[in-house]
Each structure stands twice: as C-alpha cells, then as structure tokens.
Amino acid sequence: MAVAKKAIVWGLFAAGGTVSSFVFPALITLFFLIAVGTTPDGLQYEKIHEFAASFLGKACLFIVISLSLWHAAHRLRVVFHDLGVRKDKVVANAVYLAAFVGTAMTAFYLFLIR
C-alpha cells in the first residue's frame, strides 16, 4: 500500500479552497461596488489591464483562477458521491479534465494579454 494519488487532487483542492475563501468575498464586494457605479480608481480598466499584463499580475491571476477551478472540480466530485452517484471514475475524469482545460485556457489567455 502507499499514499493514494488522491493526495494530488486533494492538495490542489485544499490550496484552491484557501485561496478562493480569501479572494472571492472581496471579488463579490467589488462586483457590487462597481454595479452601483462606485468603481475605485485602482480598478479602472486601464489599471487592471496594466496589472494583468505584468508578470506578477499574470502569476497572481493564474494561481487564483486555476486553483479555484481545481477546488470546484474536487468539490463537485464529492457532491456527486454524496448524491449517491456511484461512477466515481467517470465523474473524476470529467471534472478534472474540465479543471485541466480551464487551467490551460487561463494560461493561454493570460499569455495573450500585453
């Protein structure tokens, strides 16, 4: 016996949970602030674009988006299990493939920002 490969996806799930629990409440607050028309200066399009074009900005966005995807994927897999779906392999392959594709697309589109 050995430690199961589930350790990898659980590690990504845990890291994603930690990151998203910090970042997403702030994002939701900002979303409402912008929706009622009070966009802070630092969040104007040009500033955000400048941030996303820098290496540090790209790295931050990549970490937040990809880890959140892996977190969501693993959470969905567990939800399917809790709901009594007994096709763990199929579910796991589907959700992790989605997270993988999402991660690759995140990297690709971040690379395009200049």
Partner 1 sequence: MSKRQIELEVMRYDPEKDEAPWFQNYEVPCEEDWAILDAINYVKENIDTTLSYRWSCHMMVCGSCGMMVNGEPSLTCKTFIRDLPDKVRIEPLENFPIERDLVVVLDNVMEKLQTAQPYIIRKDPPPSDDKEYTQSRAALYKFKQYTMCINCMCCYAACPQYGLDQSFIGPAALALAHRYNLDSRDQGKAQRLDILADHDGVWDCSFVGACSEVCPKSVDPAAAIQQMKIEGAKEFWKQKLSGGKS
Our finding on whether 89 is near partner 1 (CB under 8 A) is no
Backbone angles phi, psi at 9, to 5 degrees: -70, -30
Name the minimum Å distance from CB 6 to partner 1. Answer: 4
Q: How buried is 110 (Cβ within 10 angstroms: 0-12 exposed, 13-18 middle, 19+ buried)? A: middle
For 107, which DSSP code?
A: H
Among 33, 48, 78, 90, binds partner 1 (CB under 8 A): 78
Our finding on whether 81 is near partner 1 (CB under 8 A) is yes
Report CA torsion sign: 18, 28, 52, 44: negative
Stretch that binds partner 1, among 35-43, 47-55, 64-72, 76-84 (CB under 8 A): 76-84
Among 32, 41, 56, 84, binds partner 1 (CB under 8 A): 84
